[in-house]
Amino acid sequence: MDKNWLNEEEMQLWYVWKCTYKNIFGRVVKEMSETGLSEEGDFGILMRLVDLGNGELRQQELVESMEWTKSRLSHHLTRMEQRGLVLRKPLDTGNGVQVIITSAGKSAVDASRPIYANAVRKHFLDQLTEQDMELITKLAQRIDKMPAD
C-alpha cells in the first residue's frame, strides 16, 4: 500500500486505457492510410477548408479551429503544399495567409469521407453502448473542468 507507487490494479487500468485508445485510434488511422491522407492532419485540414470556408480559410482560422500551434500548422501546410493538396496565398489586405484547397485536395477529401466515417463507426462508435457514450461525455466534462496545472 505504498502511496508513492501505483499498485497492480492502478497500473493495469492506466495501461489498459492507453492501449484501448491506441488500438482504436491506430485502427482508424490504418484504414485511413489507403486514402493517402492522415486522419488528424491532412483530413482535418481539408475537411475544415471545405466545411467551414467553402474551400479556403485564413491560416489563423485553421489554427484556432484545430487547436494547433501556428508552427505545427505552418510545417504541415508546407508538406501538404508540396503534395499539391493546398496552396497558400498572402492576403492583400495586410498580414495573413489564405489557404486554398486544390482540386486534388478536394478529390482526396471527398474520396476519404466515407472511408473515415466507416472506420470511426466500425472501430469506435459501434463498440459503444448508450451508457458508454454518456460516460465518455461526462468524463470529458470532468477532465475539461480540471485545471491543466
Partner DNA sequence: ATATCGAAGTTGACGCGTCAACCTATTGGT
Partner DNA sequence: ACCAATAGGTTGACGCGTCAACTTCGATAT
Residues that bind a second copy (CB under 8 A): 3-6, 10, 13-14, 16-21, 23-27, 30-31, 113-114, 116-118, 120-121, 123-125, 127-128, 131-133, 135-137, 139-140, 142-144, 146, 148-149
Cβ proximity to a second copy, 104 vs 117, nearer residue: 117
Q: Of DNA, a second copy, none, which one sits near residue 48, judging by CB under 5 to 8 A according to partner kind?
A: none
Q: Does residue 69 touch DNA according to CB under 7 A?
A: yes
DSSP 21-75: HHHHHHHHHHHHHTTT--IIIIIHHHHHHHHHHTTEEEHHHHHHHHT--HHHHHH
Q: Does residue 23 touch DNA according to CB under 7 A?
A: no
Rule CB under 7 A: choose which of 12, 78, 107, 118 binds DNA: 78
Rounded to an integer, what distance in angstroms lies between the CA atom of residue 7 and that of residue 15? 12
Q: Does residue 42 touch DNA according to CB under 7 A?
A: yes
